Chain A
Amino acid sequence: MCLAVPARVIELSGDTAIVDLDGIRKETSTLLLDEVAVGDYVLIHVGYALERIDPLEAAKILALFAELRAQDAES
């Protein structure tokens, strides 16, 4: 029910960040997060960053998907 999109943090300033989504820049609040660094990907919902996206976990799933595709191609 909650539309949230991943966007990359490109600037930080106090409690706000500027995030980039394929060239779209938006100001977002970082009040809900403890640590955010430039370069992190965060989920944006109603002008707030909800959570960081864990690149390692993302990589794991994507690797799983790649394996599935390979297996599928073989059969």
Chain B
Amino acid sequence: MKYVDEFRDGDTARALAKVIHAEVNPERDYRLMEFCGGHTHAIFRFGIVDLMPKNIHFIHGPGCPVCVLPAGRIEAAIRLVEEQDVILCTYADLMRVPAGKRDSLQKAKARGADIRMIYSSSDALALARDNPEKQVVFFAIGFETTTPPTAAAIKIAQAEGLGNFSVFCNHVETPPAMMTILTSGDAKIDGILGPSHVSTIIGSRAYAECCDKYHVPLVIAGFEPLDVIQSVLMLVRQINAGQAVVENQYTRAVSETGNEKAKALMNDVFEQRALFEWRGLGVLPDSAVQIRSQFSDFDAEKRFAMPEIATADIKGCICPAVLRGMNNPDECKLFGTACTPEDPKGACMVSSEGACAAYYSYGRYKAAEART
């Protein structure tokens, strides 16, 4: 696969790792937060931790839109599809996320709710066209990578007069979440590996405030393992030099200003939402978007008067702390016993890029290694 395989070359990985080993200061720790869940997944899938010096620590960030979606929003969607005659379209990622009271979209589907797994917002539009007598609701989640496709879908729906299509909008924004993590200071972060594909949309300039305000270096890292390792090296160098600027490792896809057309489309359709609850981070101002009034016809929250539902986390679940980078998954009392990938209690264990799910497999290997 072009532009994929070349960035997964083992020899280069080892060569890069050697340089990192040579350049780290053995007297200190390097706490690097990989913000994006996709990077968490890559780090474990490719065994990157094995190649790094022991004083580099990866702190897993909240860049997993599945993990930060409050259970109450899923609960609201379940109620909608069960109480009203709608077809609910969702990305498959959400199906098994616990919604509180041990419920989930998957369980609701098993009970007979018309929930369809889709790959793209275009599929939701197609369902709306094919089922004119039914209401079709698209459960939209994601950071800025996924927001423009939702915006495009809403505009298409408006142009076509697709009166039975609406969107339950849960799109969130990356820089505010980063600021929150950095403000709290609990995670003691020395450097940030910035998200790959969010950055293709918002551009490298979007992170300047984070770096300046909190004096933390940020390197926008590509999606493949060599990108991640090279970005680690770039962060180590900045940290050693006392620098704190935004660097772009993913130059083949990220520019300073990002994708202007996508940003304009987002801006057309969405506006800032004053407050939005993030699982684990609490209610944050100006951290999420909502559908503008001129497109309110396609806003499911308005069309169906969807209620705000507060759902408490399961007792003992420390997903919030894990999402903030304050604790590791294995510090959770439920980890590996009550909470496993087969029977997840929190979102961090369900999502394949959640820190807990990654730790569950990887951690068992490390523990086995330690025994031999």
Contacts and interface: CB of A to CB of B under 8 A. Distances in A.
The answer on direct contact between A and B (beta carbons under 8 Å) is yes
Q: Counting chain B CB atoms within 10 Å of each CB, which of A22, A55, A62, A65 scores highest?
A: A65
Interface of A: 1-6, 8, 21-22, 29, 31-34, 41, 43, 45-48, 50-55, 57-58, 60-62, 65, 68-69, 71-72
A46 B1 CA distance: 19
A61 B261 CA distance: 27
B29 interface: no
Interface residues of B, number: 50
Nearest to B17: A72
B123 A54 contact: no
B197 A68 contact: no
Q: Counting chain A CB atoms within 10 Å of each CB, which of B2, B223, B226, B265 scores highest?
A: B2
B247 interface: no
Q: Nearest 10 A-B pairs (CB), nearest first?
A: A47-B120, A2-B145, A72-B15, A6-B3, A2-B197, A57-B252, A1-B37, A57-B251, A58-B252, A51-B200
B275 interface: no
A2 to B, nearest CB: 4
B38 A3 contact: yes
A48 B262 CA distance: 11
Contacts of A50: 145, 148, 197, 200-201, 253, 259, 262
Contacts of B196: 2, 4
A57 B7 CA distance: 13
B152 interface: yes
Q: Counting chain A CB atoms within 10 Å of each CB, which of B119, B200, B230, B262 scores highest?
A: B200
Interface string B247-267: 000011110000101100100
A58 B199 CA distance: 17
B120 A48 contact: yes
A1 B65 contact: yes
A29 to B, nearest CB: 6
A60 B251 contact: yes
Interface in B137-154: 142-143, 145-146, 148-149, 152
A4 B3 contact: no
Interface string B225-238: 01000100000000
Given A60-B251, A61-B230, 16 more contacts: A1-B64, A2-B38, A2-B195, A2-B197, A4-B200, A32-B261, A32-B262, A33-B261, A47-B122, A50-B201, A50-B259, A53-B252, A58-B3, A61-B252, A65-B6, A68-B15
B36 interface: yes
Nearest to A54: B252
Contact of B119 (A4, A6, A47, A69): A47
A22 B38 contact: no
Given A1-B36, A1-B63, A65-B12, A41 B2 contact: yes
A3 to B, nearest CB: 6
Q: Counting chain A CB atoms within 10 Å of each CB, which of B143, B230, B252 scores highest?
A: B252
16 contacts: A1-B198, A2-B38, A2-B142, A2-B143, A3-B38, A4-B145, A29-B152, A31-B152, A32-B259, A32-B261, A41-B3, A46-B91, A46-B120, A47-B123, A48-B149, A51-B200
Contacts of B261: 32-34
B253 A48 contact: no
B338 interface: no
Contacts of A52: 253
A33 to B, nearest CB: 7
A20 B262 CA distance: 23
B146 A45 contact: yes
A8 B145 CA distance: 20
A55 B253 CA distance: 9
A14 to B, nearest CB: 12
A43 B254 CA distance: 11
A31 B125 CA distance: 15
Contacts of B200: 4, 43, 50-51
A48 B153 CA distance: 11
A62 B2 contact: no
A32 B152 contact: yes
